[in-house]
Structure 1
């Protein structure tokens, strides 16, 4: 995402009111989970996310966030019929790095006895054309984290001249499903150092159904680096937590990071929104406000496995910043459809 310069806590540029008329009609895009929005220098917002069939990667673009809902999706990559990269294509992210486009995503392998669930590895695609919807995408292979185990939800960001990779992975020696890790990058598909664990599920709200830390997204504001992430099972218990470090700190030092003990964004029965999470960050059309992009359902009870319920919808709402320079996410706003003329 393009970032406007970090401002002083409480400045009019970053502090907005979100409890009046919503800035965006929600849901923005029906049935797209794990949403990722990138605002590029060409004036377009680019979108990708998990499709309900988990079989392909789509991109779309529009001049506005709201317009992404009407934009035509374009399939840029499709799963293989068997073996690696053949099942459960999850949580793609689109990044523009050093003049090229990259998609990070997770994919599982199928065997004769299972459908590859929770056998994911991380992969990268590259496109060197100006328009990633029409350009040629090339597989750059598996992003090797240093050991073979379930891993997913990779993101990347640059800070103070170093590019970092943040992802979720299962350590067989640690109880639970996934922890959060960080490493420097040698290039957009290769790590330059060992994985450093930043967080593991430890609080009750991170461990309901599954012991999960996943879905990291980074925003740098007010002299801090913030990592929002998601925890627990993907039903109404799913919610978001927050890590932060000083902008001058060694981001590869786990002691530089502080973890909020309570969730920062969670289900709201009052607003009819359940399981909000797996977010990304972008900025408003005027460049003045930060925007939270996330998915949530508008009902609590789910028949069957929540992973195969298709109604995690992409949503958007403005972020407030408090006087100490921390994000205030509030509650997921209620559905507010576009009014026809």
Structure 2
């Protein structure tokens, strides 16, 4: 099953400094989210609250919880979990990326697994999908009723089919008389696709995370999540991308990855490989991820109201330097997220 793609994302009204764009935010949003009827009135704040307070939010008050903020194979100092996020809006709970340990992070956040009926994957690297096995298996073993729908780029259907096939022995051991009630449905989406989950409208845009890859079939996606009162944009993994900049135009909150190619953890990782592989990986970190300078430019040119950093490929001792580099281009509210923060 494939969602029908929407028309191309509309262009921003202009480039330039945030101050120059402030008056054009509503126009820009209309261009990006054509026919949504959305307006952004949420306060521009990056101060996190407890992820366990989700049940107290008013209708539409869409929030974003960073369940796991580590950057892939780059060490987070032992205090960050693999990439995973939880979006709440009007009673809808969407798991956005599902790195290894996502189910445990949901439990730490006080989230009932039965309330999570939708998963949205940015791309199929293992640090963003490793927790799917546990999520699907735990739902079956606990006999949580209802369908789980997994949206993601081309290859998502095959990924989920493989997980289900691999869990065949579990189904033999835990025989449920109502197994048909515990379904999992995977939907491949692509650049320009629009998905509606309850009151949340989700728009996908292909980014540049696979820029250097020879496989033209694979896609890495960034997402814009909108309710009538707030717009949140999630970069997923990406390098600099005009498509992502258009997607993020005027957003109330930009949730962006960040990578420091010169971080000691990256240097140590690269040292394990032969020279040719090392050079290819260095290009990956510099062109298919966002440096602090890249993040600042993206936030500035898209005129976002607030910025949250996750998928943090920066050592704790270097975060101050990264913050200063972002601030050279972006003067809005900024927060480096911790696991279980809610924005």
TM-score (norm 2): 0.32
Structure with the bigger RCO (C-alpha within 8 Å, sep 6+) is: 2
Q: Name the structure where helix makes up a greater proportion of residues.
A: 2
